[in-house]
């Protein structure tokens, strides 16, 4: 893989064949090329990589969330950001709060299932509608 484009899913096998730093470098290079001003390009790229890894690993709830967000009107890059916001929220909770259940991944997956394009675009919390 020579370039990363968040609007197109990378080939899962090629993506996963790269080491983690190479993935971060590709994502960071994309954002540098597009002249996006970020407080931390490395952190932003790392969150992208977490989401892309989960997609490449074919984690069903992550794939379903991307598909739903696309139907709801987000482009793929924004869908990656929306899911990335849940990743960041989950990591923050992992560091700052005690887990409520035996499997912290369950909480992450439940949160993805309730994520909507509207709430992400408006910067609101979890949707109140089922």
pLDDT in tens, 84-118: 999 999 888 888 877 666 677 888 999 999 999 99
Are residue 109 and residue 65 in the same domain, yes or no? yes
Per-residue pLDDT tens over the stretch 38-56: 778 889 999 999 999 999 9
pTM for this one?
Answer: 0.89
| Domain-terminating residue out of 58, 82, 105 | 58
Residue 1: the pLDDT is 86
Contacts of residue 19, Cβ cutoff 8 Å, sequence gap at least 6: none
Range of the domain at 90: 60-124
For residue 71, what pLDDT band results from cuts at 50, 70 and 90?
very high
pLDDT score of 38: 76
Better-predicted residue by pLDDT, 38 or 1: 1
Task: Characterize 91-109 residue by residue with b for buried, 16 or more Cβ atoms within 10 angstroms of its Cβ, and e for exposed.
Answer: eebeeeeeeeeeeeeebbb
Integer Cα distance of 78 and 73 in angstroms: 10
Tell me, yes or no, whether 40 lies in a domain: yes
Domain limit, last residue, from 58, 75, 101: 58
> How far is 28 from 86, CA to CA, in rounded Å?
20
Q: Is the residue at 29 inside a domain?
A: yes
Judgement on whether residues 1 and 41 belong to the same structural domain of the protein: yes
State whether 11 and 41 are in the same domain. Answer: yes
Q: Do 18 and 53 lie in a common domain?
A: yes
The reply to whether 118 and 64 lie within a common domain is: yes
Residues 25 and 67 in one domain: no
Instruction: Classify residue 103: in a domain, yes or no.
Output: yes
Q: 31 and 7, same structural domain?
A: yes
Residues 67, 24 share a domain? no
**Which residues does 48 contact at the CB level (< 8 Å), separation at least 6?**
6, 27, 80, 84
Residue 74, classed as helix, strand or coil, is coil
> What is the rounded distance in angstroms from the CA atom of residue 102 to the CA atom of residue 115?
22
Q: Is the pLDDT of residue 127 over 50?
A: no
Tally of domains within the chain: 2
Is 129 contained in some domain? no
What Å distances lie between residue 69 and 58, 104, 105, 106, 117, CA to CA? 17, 23, 20, 20, 6
> Does residue 69 form part of some domain?
yes
Q: Which residues contact 97 (CB under 8 A, 6 or more apart)?
A: none
5 located within any domain: yes
């Amino acid at each position: 893989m020579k370039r990363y484009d968040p609007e197109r899913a990378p080939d899962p096998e090629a993506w996963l064949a790269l080491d983690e730093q190479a993935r971060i470098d590709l994502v960071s290079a994309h954002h540098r090329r597009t002249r996006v001003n970020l407080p931390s390009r490395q952190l932003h790229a790392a969150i992208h990589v977490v989401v892309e890894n989960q997609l490449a690993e074919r984690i069903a709830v992550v794939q379903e969330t991307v598909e739903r967000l696309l139907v709801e009107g987000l482009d793929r890059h924004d869908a990656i950001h929306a899911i990335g916001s849940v990743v960041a929220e989950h990591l923050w909770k992992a560091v700052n709060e005690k887990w409520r259940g035996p499997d912290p991944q369950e909480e992450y997956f439940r949160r993805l299932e309730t994520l909507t394009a509207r709430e992400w675009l408006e910067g609101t919390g979890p949707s109140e509608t089922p």
